Amino acid sequence: MGDRFAVGESPAETASAARTYEVRTLGCLMNAHDSERMAGLLEGAGYVKAAPGAPADLVVFNTCAVRENADNKLYGSLGHLAPIKASHPGMQIAVGGCLAQKDRHTVLEHAPWVDVVFGTHNIGSLPILLERARHNQQAQVEIHDSLQTFPSALPASRDSAYAAWVSISVGCNNTCTFCIVPSLRGKEVDRRPGDILAEVQALVEQGVLDVTLLGQNVNSYGVNFADPGSLASSDPTPPRDRGAFAELLRACGRIEGLERVRFTSPHPAEFTDDVIAAMAETPTVCPHLHMPLQSGSDRILKAMRRSYRRDRYLGIIDKVRCAMPHAAITTDIIVGFPGETEDDFMQTLDVVERARFTSAFTFQYSPRPGTPAAEMTDQIPKSVVQDRFNRLVVLQDRISLENNQSLVGGQVELLVAAGDGRKNAATARMSGRARDGRLVHFRPEQPGSVRPGDVVVVEITNAAPHYLIADGPMLQHRRTRAGDASERGQTPKTRGIGLGVPLVGKPQPPLIASAQCNDHATC
């Protein structure tokens, strides 16, 4: 490595001012939440977030191995940064996340100007690896094959004043043949309910109104509770608590001040009636179920190693609609999996027609190196995949529009969002999410009177496949603590909340909020 790409400067050269950082996230919600942890760790180590557009002293890439061409995109971005680093003394670059876990030393072979490579199991090592790279003037690569610290035991600097993600588990025990996640994130490890509830409580105390419980497979929660000593050598036959996820939803519902609880993603094979009952009976749990279908053909589900079949999937939807007639049901669908025939695809269209999803994330299958499906010989030509994809999108858009049109004239409560509407500046509208997750663009009475994080009630006046419009007067406006925090530019910070507390414990006191703030998973 030449001087041009010297790895960092001595601490003395950079000690005069706080170093600035930027985290660039590629990939799913899980990665976005890991990025909040990285930000919290870096701020704990004295870094400050770089102003938007300003060059940062540290750029961290939190990478994804699930998306197509993820490696090309990463190495393209790293190539773009090389001359910037050469002209920015002391700048460091770190690469973490799933692609770093998968490619390990390859990252440095492609981009020797990178200072630190770390994996999905050791996010907590980032500050020390950066310091070591700077001190030793040498790139540091540290990848572990099993989880070192549960990510939620690390501090986090949150992006939003009003909505937050809370991890309930990491890893996955399934083996879907198209998915690289199990080999990169490892077996499922579940966080203790007391720790989860303490983190939710800490967020609510800082104004958060909407919490999304996150896991690769949330309704297998309870399969393997983590203990402080069990991360390195987990019990091979852990006791299973099958009612744990439903209980967790109900316990979240008892947290005063929390208005909305969501979760993503459940796996249809593990979906149990007690979760539907907990959703229906807990007023703060939102009437929204995102449940990946992937294919409507039993033959393809088998080839995907998805252990449910179309009848079971449709049966769950029937039960959810019976318990919550107005629930929004959304899904993920992969088109063109190896071996998919026209008949298989027609079965997917048939399930879509019957399920009447509110919306669907639709994906064209493409092989991911390292997955069993990538080795299958009957890959589908791109033109066929594209044609099926287009037909699926036309069908789903029609259904989404019909569903949304049925809401015109009704009233909805919105949690006002920051952004979420590309044309809002031109149309003088703001955007918010209804309790069922639908995106609604509305017109505030006076500019500035409504803040992100406030709650409004509006009447729907128009519908499109992917959003609703409410152009009439606002029917209610409630100013909230989340709105106050947004107005001040403050977002929550959570300390790491440790493992092994089996009861609903007294939450740790929250840190004072600072003055600053799918792609979709494939489960």
Q: List the binding residues for [4Fe-4S] cluster.
A: 28, 64, 98, 172, 176, 179
Which residue's CB is nearer to ligand SF4, number 172 or number 196? 172
Minimum distance from residue 66 beta carbon to ligand SF4 (Å): 8
Three-class DSSP category at 129: helix
Phi, psi values for residue 288, rounded to 5°? -145, 125
| Residues facing 332 on adjacent strands | 361
Asked if 178 and 334 count as a contact pair (C-beta separation under 8 A), the reply is yes
Q: Which of 44, 55, 90, 182 binds ligand SF4 (CB under 6 A)?
A: 182
Which residue's CB is nearer to ligand SF4, number 186 or number 453? 186
Sign of CA dihedral 436, 438, 443, 448: positive
Residue 78 sits in the site that holds ligand SF4 (CB under 6 A): no
Task: Classify burial at 454, counting beta carbons within 10 Å of its beta carbon; exposed 0-12, middle 13-18, buried 19 or more.
Answer: buried
Which residue's CB is nearer to ligand SF4, number 201 or number 216? 216
Residue 216 sits in the site that holds ligand SF4 (CB under 6 A): yes
Which residue's CB is nearer to ligand SF4, number 120 or number 174? 174
Q: How far apart are CA 76 and CA 25, in angstroms?
A: 15
The DSSP H or E segment spanning 41 is helix 29-44
Q: How far apart are CA 345 and CA 327, in angstroms?
A: 26
Which residue's CB is nearer to ligand SF4, number 28 or number 458? 28
Which residue's CB is nearer to ligand SF4, number 39 or number 180? 180
Q: Of 105, 119, 110, 103, which Cα lies nearest the Cα of 31? A: 119
Which residue's CB is nearer to ligand SF4, number 176 or number 303? 176
Residue 243 sits in the site that holds ligand SF4 (CB under 6 A): no
Q: What is the dihedral of CA 127, 128, 129, 133, to 10 degrees?
A: 100
Minimum distance from residue 172 beta carbon to ligand SF4 (Å): 3
Residue 168 sits in the site that holds ligand SF4 (CB under 6 A): no
Alpha helices in 137-243 (DSSP H): 181-185, 193-205
Binding residues: 28, 64, 98, 172, 176, 179
Alpha helices in 26-120 (DSSP H): 29-44, 70-86, 98-103, 106-110
Which residue's CB is nearer to ligand SF4, number 95 or number 521? 521
Tokens of 420: 């979420």
Q: Which of 20, 63, 217, 358 binds ligand SF4 (CB under 6 A)?
A: 217
Q: Of 195, 282, 296, which Cα lies nearest the Cα of 247? A: 282
Q: Which stretch binds ligand SF4 (CB under 6 A): 46-54, 128-136, 145-153, 179-187?
A: 179-187
Minimum distance from residue 223 beta carbon to ligand SF4 (Å): 12
Q: Which of 92, 174, 297, 396 binds ligand SF4 (CB under 6 A)?
A: 174
Tokens of 182: 């199990």
Residue 315 makes CB contacts below 8 A (sequence gap 6+) with: none
Q: Which stretch binds ligand SF4 (CB under 6 A): 31-39, 67-75, 172-180, 193-201?
A: 172-180
Q: How far apart are CA 360 and CA 293, in angstroms?
A: 9
Q: Which stretch binds ligand SF4 (CB under 6 A): 67-75, 178-186, 308-316, 334-342?
A: 178-186
Q: Which of 123, 176, 300, 333 binds ligand SF4 (CB under 6 A)?
A: 176
Residue 181 sits in the site that holds ligand SF4 (CB under 6 A): yes
DSSP 329: E
| Residues facing 59 on adjacent strands | 22, 93
Which residue's CB is nearer to ligand SF4, number 57 or number 188? 188
Tokens of 279: 């959703």
Residue 267 sits in the site that holds ligand SF4 (CB under 6 A): yes
Three-class DSSP category at 21: strand
- Say how many residues touch ligand SF4, by CB under 6 A: 12
Residues 220-239 that bind ligand SF4 (CB under 6 A): none
Q: Which stretch binds ligand SF4 (CB under 6 A): 174-182, 366-374, 379-387, 508-516?
A: 174-182
Q: Which of 172, 399, 455, 485 binds ligand SF4 (CB under 6 A)?
A: 172
Asked if 41 and 127 count as a contact pair (C-beta separation under 8 A), the reply is yes
Residue matched to tokens 């090309």: 72
Residue 219 sits in the site that holds ligand SF4 (CB under 6 A): no
Minimum distance from residue 179 beta carbon to ligand SF4 (Å): 3
Minimum distance from residue 239 beta carbon to ligand SF4 (Å): 22
Is the bond preceding 383 in cis, omega lying within 30 degrees of 0?
no
How are the residues of the chain apportioned to helix, strand and coil, as percentages rounded to the nearest 5? 35, 20, 45
Residues 324-383 that bind ligand SF4 (CB under 6 A): none
Asked if 249 and 222 count as a contact pair (C-beta separation under 8 A), the reply is no
Q: Which of 70, 108, 179, 223 binds ligand SF4 (CB under 6 A)?
A: 179
Minimum distance from residue 233 beta carbon to ligand SF4 (Å): 22
List residues near ligand SF4 by CB under 6 A.
172, 174-176, 179, 181-182, 216-217, 267, 522-523
